[in-house]
Chain A
Amino acid sequence: MSNRYVDKGLRAPVNLTWEVSLACNLRCTTCLSSSGEPAVGELTTAEALDLVEQVHQARVFQINFGGGEPFMRPDFEQILDACHTRGIMTCISTNGTLIDAELVARLAVTKLVAVQVSLDGASPKTCDAVRGKGVFNRAIAAVKLLAASSIPTSINTVLTTQNASEIPAMHELASSLGVSLRVSRFRPAGRGAENWETLRPTPTQLIEFSDWLAQSGDVRTGDSFFSLTSQERQGLGLNLCGAGKLTCCVSPTGDMYPCAFLQTEPFHAGSLREKSFQEIWDGSEIYESFRGLRIHSCEDCTRFDQCHGGCPAVAWHLKNDLSGGDPECLERCVTSIADSARTAAAA
């Protein structure tokens, strides 16, 4: 069910995804940002701190940091401190390879930070195939350090065809380590687009995952699987796209977009080097279009109230049509499986 207050528009996002750098010491095959080298013209420390102040003035509640690898920025802890002294809550998505006991101790001083460590398989074999040799063990080491601290910690997994069968095992692994599990949706952006056909979950895997999620109320999804949301999970999260309405994205160079999966020119909402954060949130035509986005093609579907047409970013990447309806929604998965079965039977 959509929310009328959200529909009317909020004065600022509830949270913000901020990719602080494209620099990364890994080269994960699913990376939505094709991270590795820093972007040309990334925000300076002064610009980043100014953005924190602007976000504070706008009363954004939380910043979700990612990249690249946020800890590759030498000033990242300075940026975090600026957020925390202003009462802004933060969540850091990290590959864990740069986390040591001293860093954990520094982060734990504030009560305003949560950490997600990326892990894409329940075993080194599966995980390292995506993230690189030895990364599984390094990430687990980071998780253990974090789990022993007061920092709310989760393991974040991007669902692919290679790790779909290991999700229950990852759930057990997370439990055994004393952390929660968060499963995110794989989308065809960045290196994810290059590897889409080989890594995308099959319709059967998506349905099985949806069924498993229905029985696993403690598993987080970051509201990224609302196209598969079962009745059982209806009340656990947002069941619609929040881009431009509840959230937005800031790139390493200070460009704003509706979400991290649409960091391309057609969706450029504005540059923080030209306009203020509030001006862009209030006046961007891109954000206006997302606020008014209606996926009419899905309105006759029985699941429309549960998914509202799904993820526009996936629809854009796969069908070049923001309002074309999510190609991987539950209904389309079921239809796809039925069609395949018919084709096989006819052959």
Chain B
Amino acid sequence: MASAGFTEMGAAGITLHPACRVRREGFGLLFYDIRGPRLLFAETGDLLPADFFGTVRGRDELPEGVSAREQVVLGTFVTQLLTKGFLREQSIR
């Protein structure tokens, strides 16, 4: 039996938008978006390394060792970054 063409949808992940860059600062993370251009200063402290979104991550994926409270707060922060366009959704596969 011939199989029909099959496309497997990749799971949705998130990653830094190609027009954006991010680096560590004393307060946390500094994002740059060349499309504005604009800057985003985020008081993440030590919670997130700058390269965390350099690879595609699962939507709820967070660094190891964060507390339950921090997970909630970081989740809100990630949603903010998505809404503002610094992060974008991308297939994990």
Contacts and interface: CB of A to CB of B under 8 A. Distances in A.
B25 interface: yes
Interface stretch (A3-11, A117-125, A278-286): A3-11
B34 A89 contact: yes
Nearest to A88: B21
B26 interface: yes
Interface string B50-72: 10000000000000000000000
A111 B34 CA distance: 11
B41 A61 contact: no
A223 B32 CA distance: 16
A190 interface: no
B18 interface: yes
A61 B33 CA distance: 9
Contacts of B18: 111
A14 B50 CA distance: 15
Contacts of B88: none
A213 B18 CA distance: 30
B32 to A, nearest CB: 4
Contacts of B25: 5, 10-11
Interface string A86-129: 01010000000000000000000001001000000000000000
A61 B32 contact: yes
A5 B34 CA distance: 19
B39 interface: yes
Interface in B1-51: 18, 21, 23-27, 30, 32, 34, 39, 41, 50
Q: Is the interface of A mostly helix, strand, loop or mixed?
A: loop
A113 to B, nearest CB: 11
A11 B26 contact: yes
Contacts of B27: 5, 8
Contacts of A29: none
A213 to B, nearest CB: 18
Nearest to A9: B26
A89 B18 CA distance: 11
B38 to A, nearest CB: 9
A17 to B, nearest CB: 15
Contacts of A87: 21
Nearest to B27: A5
A163 B49 CA distance: 49
Interface string A49-61: 0000000000101
A331 to B, nearest CB: 28
Contact of B21 (A10, A11, A89, A111): A89
Contacts of B50: 59
Contacts of A61: 21, 23, 32, 34
Given A61-B32, A62-B32, A11 B24 contact: yes
Nearest to A238: B39
Nearest to A89: B34
A89 B34 CA distance: 8
B26 A8 contact: yes
Q: Name, among A5, A62, A111, the residue most crowded by chain B CB atoms within 10 Å (CB to CB).
A: A5
A58 B32 CA distance: 14
Interface of B: 18, 21, 23-27, 30, 32, 34, 39, 41, 50
16 contacts: A3-B41, A5-B25, A5-B27, A11-B23, A11-B25, A14-B32, A14-B39, A59-B24, A61-B21, A61-B32, A62-B34, A87-B21, A89-B21, A89-B34, A111-B18, A114-B34
Interface of A: 3, 5, 8, 10-12, 14, 59, 61-62, 87, 89, 111, 114
Given A3-B41, A87-B21, 9 more contacts: A5-B25, A5-B27, A8-B26, A10-B25, A11-B24, A11-B25, A61-B21, A61-B23, A61-B34
